[in-house]
């Protein structure tokens, strides 16, 4: 049994917010309907929905919208793949703000400062022990 487009769309939005396929399916189906299903059946249905390329396209679209609204993305239990090649939808890849402002020189300076701080701390301990 496959779920319809409405459930697929709602599942994609909920999964993008929650990051857990089983919890997303439970919230989409409702407590009463989900309670009638066995846990392994619920996990299997959630996995089937998540592995469907149409659902993955909807999830990627929702993740892009969340990033454009500057909402925080959850840690996803299972990674989704880019599906724009399968659905003929070309989307602009949204880069993470941290990768846009990556400065290797600043990172080297920070590592150098950490090393200096460790050496100073060791020197203070050794001088404290001798005195």
- Per-residue model confidence (pLDDT) at position 98: 47
Domain shared by 112 and 53, yes or no:
no
Domain shared by 76 and 112, yes or no:
no
Work out how many domains the chain is built from and give that number: 2
The model's pTM: 0.58
Domain shared by 83 and 121, yes or no:
no
Using CA atoms, how far apart are residues 25 and 45, in angstroms rounded to an integer?
A: 8
Domain range for 80 is: 1-92
Residuewise pLDDT in 10s, the chain (131 residues): 467 889 999 999 999 999 899 999 999 999 899 999 999 999 999 988 988 888 988 998 898 888 888 888 888 766 655 555 555 544 444 444 444 556 678 778 888 888 998 999 999 988 887 76
Tell me which residue has tokens 């599906």.
83
Domain shared by 83 and 38, yes or no:
yes
What is each CA distance from 117 to 67, 110, 114, 128, in whole angstroms?
Answer: 37, 11, 5, 16
Domain shared by 28 and 77, yes or no:
yes
């Amino acid at each position: 049994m496959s779920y319809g487009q409405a459930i697929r769309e709602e599942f994609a939005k909920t999964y993008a917010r929650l990051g857990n396929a089983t919890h997303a399916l439970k919230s989409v189906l409702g407590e009463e309907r989900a309670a009638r299903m066995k846990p392994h059946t619920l996990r299997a249905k959630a996995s089937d929905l998540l592995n469907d390329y149409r659902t993955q396209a909807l999830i990627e679209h929702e993740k892009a919208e969340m990033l454009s609204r500057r909402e925080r993305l959850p840690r996803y239990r299972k990674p989704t793949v880019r599906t724009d090649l399968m659905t003929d939808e070309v989307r602009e890849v949204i880069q993470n703000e941290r990768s846009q402002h990556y400065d290797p020189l600043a990172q080297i300076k920070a590592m150098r400062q950490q090393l200096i701080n460790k050496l100073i701390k060791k020197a203070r301990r050794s001088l404290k022990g001798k005195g």
